[in-house]
Amino acid sequence: MASRDRVLFAVAVACLAVLSGEAAVASQTVVLQNGYLGYAGTTDAWLDDSSGARDDNYGGDQQLRIEYDDGWSDCAIIKFDLTGQIPALQRILSAQMSLYYSAAGSMQDDNAVTIKPYRVKAGKSWYENDGIGRDDEGVNLMYRDHYETLAWTGERAWYDVTDDGNGTNKIKETGGSVPDAIEPGRWVPFNVKNSVTNWYGGTENNGLLLLTTGFQGSGYTAYGLFASRNDTCSSPNYKPKLAITYEGAAAPIGDADGPYVVDVGGSVLFDGTGSYDPDGGGIVSWLWDLDDDGTYGDVVGSTVSLGYESLFNLLGLGEHDIGLKVVDDEGDWAIAPQTALTILPEPATMALLAVGLGACAARRGRR
């Protein structure tokens, strides 16, 4: 099944779940990798500051180099186009970016380099705005700038990335002694669920910057070479890939409980705690419509206690329809079936009413 067909299928099933209020559909996974099922939405570049010149950026290179050099770094930036890949009303369950680690460079046996992907802040164009106007560089931020020639960078600092708490991983040379690091000839996975969730939620997708955040062992420099989107290997396909697993987010189920009765001097506890989210999420707001005008929010809360006087002043005596709208943590909402509230008259009023009804019956009997 082609990627587009799989996405359309997921949309149809998710819509059925929302309309019916049933539990969420089974999870779906989409794999984004250039050349796989026709996908061609990866953009990447190696950002190299080895000479201090601005033209050491290789948007068309077959390798991405991520380096630690005594505090200075060559970095890689990668962007996956998510447009049309995930239907609406889904929950992101996981997102794993994997880079193929083809070779180690300048590594000693006890070296390990820790790499972390940071989300690039919104508003950064993919093409570097360096005043030169060249579009062939293919990057949206400058390398770590030794000479501090750009206003938005500083020595040993990045100002235009966001730490989403994405996962880190270590690399080492082949046969290296560090036990928890990955050696060449392997895929290096990174948990990027937080960034993908931000993009899916509407944040501009400007890619991920992979930067070394730690170095261990002797020496002072080490780097790894990773296959880029331009890698010519085809069996297996070594290009960067992003696997996203998601599931349909079903609408919540509202329960207004009741019916309710309140008499003079008493109170009533409206209870919406029976509402729930069938896809495993949570209800975040309970909005009550007391006067049946279709506007929800007269009172707010999973449980709301109101006294006789306030209800009488608002609604008057008799039976009234009470509505409840619930909203879940995905922003989906549902209207619960209406319940009834009966506001009883005072006992004296009830007695006078009974006397009046009896007198009327007696008059009818004499006729």
Residue ranges of domains in the chain, CATH in brackets: 3-248 (no CATH), 260-350 (2.60.40.10)
For tokens 């235009």, the residue is 160
CB atoms within 10 A of CB 328: 23
Tokens 């008259």 found at: 345
pLDDT (tens digit per residue) in 184-229: 999 999 999 999 999 998 889 989 999 888 899 998 889 999 999 9
The residue among 184, 195, 189, 185 whose CA lies nearest residue 169 is 189
221-227 and 63-69 strand pairing: antiparallel
Q: What is the pLDDT of residues 2-55, one digit of tens each?
A: 333 333 223 333 333 333 333 345 789 999 999 999 999 999 988 765 555 544
pLDDT in tens, 217-253: 998 889 999 999 988 877 789 999 999 999 887 788 9
More confident residue, 119 or 61: 119
Least confident of 86-100, 146-160, 233-247: 146-160
CB atoms within 10 A of CB 163: 13
Mean pLDDT is lowest, of 110-119, 160-169, 184-193, 316-325, for: 160-169
Q: What are phi and psi of 99, to 5 degrees?
A: -115, 140
Rounded (5°) CA angle 74-80-81: 145
**Beta 57-58 vs 186-191: how paired, if at all?**
unpaired
Share of the chain above pLDDT 70, in %: 74
Mean pLDDT of all residues belonging to the chain: 80
